[in-house]
Amino acid sequence: MIKRGLFWSGLLLAIAVSASFYASRTVPPDTLVPAHFNLRGEADRYAPFGVLVWVVPAVIAGLNVALAALPLLDPRKDNLRRSAGLYLTGWIGGTFIATAAHLAVMYAAVTGDAPEVRFIFAAAGLVVAVIGNFLAKSRSNWFAGVRTPWTLSSEHAWVIANRIAGWGFVLTGLATVAASLLSSTPETALVLTAGVLASALVAVVASYFAWRADPDRTV
């Protein structure tokens, strides 16, 4: 599992680093370039290119190290291995979205044009949908899934909460992809944010009641 995560996330990191090298040969380091885009895809924050160009690659590299180490620390290692699809989707999917956002910023720095933010939202929607699929099949562990005091002390609560969150994430992800193609970017962001938060909230509340109803809970 760790080797697969390092391979794919390392490949994405290499793409991000390559984009930074290419852009650094074109854009002077003291040039102010877009560092953040609003929901309409308009630049609303700027930073010196010499600083911005390496921020995301450095963050990706640090996260890769952390995410490679976490499975070694989980007391429920076997369950985490059985939830490898969920862990790897979060790891690689998150790295993919960060890389896509970095490429968008590098594109804007080199060309001066605003990138198509909707494609990043579409990618995020796909990642959320895939995460949802694996959430519903995950096993109790400390680092991936809906982790509350109740899900970590009751297998029944874990199953209920993660199935609810899983279906919510799948529906949210698909709705986000559709909105990114058919609607405006602000509305797409609202669909994604509201869907993820609502799914998580319902799952957390459900985990408590499932825990109370479980005679086999450990606490």
Residue-wise pLDDT for 103-162, tens only, equals 888 888 888 776 677 888 899 999 999 999 999 899 989 989 999 999 999 999 999 999
Asked if residue 50 lies in contact with residue 29, where contact means CB atoms within 8 angstroms, the answer is: yes
Q: What is the pLDDT of residues 81-90, one digit of tens each?
A: 888 899 999 9
Task: Give me the mean pLDDT over the 174-190 stretch.
Answer: 87
CB atoms within 10 A of CB 204: 17
Distance CA(114)–CA(7), nearest Å, equals: 31
Task: Give me the mean pLDDT over the 191-199 stretch.
Answer: 95
Task: Give me the mean pLDDT over the 196-202 stretch.
Answer: 96
What tokens appear for 158 in the block? 């874990």
* Predicted local confidence at residue 115, as pLDDT: 67
CB atoms within 10 A of CB 40: 11
Confidence of residue 11 (pLDDT cuts 50, 70, 90): very high
% of residues, the chain, pLDDT over 70 = 95
pTM over 0.95, yes/no: no
Question: In this model, does residue 96 exceed pLDDT 90?
Answer: yes
Sign of the alpha-carbon torsion through 206, 210, 213, 219: negative
